Amino acid sequence: MKVSLKSHWVVKPAEPTWNGTVSLSEFDQTFAVTHVPTIYYYKFCQDFVTRDIIKTLKTSLSKALVHFYPLAGRLRWISGSRLELECDASGVVLTEAETAARLDDLSDFLLSPDHNGLFPRVDYTIPIDELPLLFVQLTKFQCGGIALSFAVSHAVVDGQSALYFFSEWARLSRGEPLMFAPCHDRKVLHAGEPATASPTFEHLQFNPPPLLIGKSNTENENKNETKGSMLKLTKIQVEMLREKVNQGRNLEDSKQRSYTRYEVVTAHIWRCTCKARGHKFEQPTNLCICVDIRKRMQPPLPKSYFGNAIVDVVATGLSGDIASSPLEYVARRVREAIQMVTSDYANSTINFMKKQEDLSKYQDIHAFKNKEGAFYGNPNLGVISWINLPLLGLDFGWGKEIHMSPGIHEFDGDCVILPANEGDGSLTVAIVLQDAHVDAFKKFFYEDI
């Protein structure tokens, strides 16, 4: 799909904002610190022309940045491969583009490299202290429909905070007032402070993930071609999986709450992936899980906390066990990993990272420093939950989207579970696997329900 860029603007806050340096929390500075893309598609709206839409977006974005001023700042490297945020109102980038394609040409909006032009281009060859933290692109289709895509720095916000910003920006775009003022106090997660104690837990998420048996590195696996897939689970299929797992619980487990959709679907994905990859029985495999700690901290973080508040944990197993055991067994492994995350565990994670002289080995920063990043693909997997995030219904004044999806990438083992666009309780699994494993995964994914 050919996409032509027409214009771009640097949008700055509409009013003077606080200027100064902000210390980032340890959760801001580890794992993914590049930009995360998402995209929303909208049908043709007779009441708006592209010129009006651009004007509305620029004006409302400028107003939104007054409240969410950290997004208009710039990052800066400091000692120990750490980052800090300079709030200087440098601004964000808004781009206007167009394509001769039609929305109907997108074949169910499948993840495809052909759609890369619909997303903002982030140039990581420029110094990080010159790189905007938010890019927005509006692309007009020949049919009059539009795509609105975002790329936001994961070093400043996680998914919950990004969607909170998009939602408030959309409210301002519709002429409504802000619903919640953001909390910018990163010291609630001890940002910029020394470690208060030694770690009190083992933090497997910081250990190198297992390699394929007989391999000493990931070089060959990293070279294999990958493919993204969007697989739908209807509400009935999700409930079938939950029923299978919850009925399989033993007496002790049955005293606990029933398994969640995330626990069950993640277990199903891990199991199908192990089968599709055809591992030896004794092959170690890690499942990386992201856990929101906003409500788990003591005291809980403010509801409008604007930053990263995610802890990664790891469920481990042998591929043969995962593939051949009942789904309830795998779901239990997932739950046990999630249940480790308490306020004490999160504080232990913070102290672990504060005691590291250099954070670079815990950062996915290859886009910045032109080196290979960590490889979390075969035999491993990472499953992120967007199930309970307010993804759908993003209305900037021309109606709600007809489809929303995560951005396109090519990293083996990356997976996101999100609500289906119908909003009827169905789920969509967006997963990237090596080409050689995709067909087998799809077969097991539906056969094993």
How far apart, in whole angstroms, are the C-alpha atoms of residue 272 and residue 275?
A: 5
Q: 26 with 84: CB under 8 angstroms?
A: no
Q: Which amino acid is at 176?
A: E
Q: What are phi and psi of 332, to 5 degrees?
A: -65, -40
Known catalytic membership, residue 424: no
Which residue reads 């080995």 in tokens? 361
CA angle 155, 156, 162 (to 5 degrees): 115
Pairing between strand 134-140 and 35-42? Answer: unpaired
Angle between helices 327-339 and 235-247 (to 10 degrees): 90
Which residue reads 């080409």 in tokens? 435
How far apart, in whole angstroms, are the C-alpha atoms of residue 70 and residue 1?
A: 34
**Cα distance between the two ends of the chain:** 35
Name the E strands within 141-225. 146-153
- Give the 3-state secondary structure of residue 239: helix
How far apart, in whole angstroms, are the C-alpha atoms of residue 253 and residue 120?
A: 47
Catalytic residue from among 88, 253, 344, 395: 395
Q: Which of 262, 317, 268 is nearest to 292 (CA)?
A: 262
Q: 87 with 208: CB under 8 angstroms?
A: no
Give buried/exposed letters for 380-405 (b at 16+ CB in 10 A, else e).
Answer: bbbbbbbbebebbebebbbebbebbb
Known catalytic membership, residue 395: yes
Burial class (CB in 10 A: 0-12, 13-18, 19+), 83: buried
Q: Which of 179, 178, 125, 173 is nearest to 148 (CA)?
A: 173
Pairing between strand 74-78 and 82-87? Answer: antiparallel
- 211 DSSP 8-state letter: P
Catalytic residue from among 35, 67, 115, 154: 154
Active site residues: 154, 395
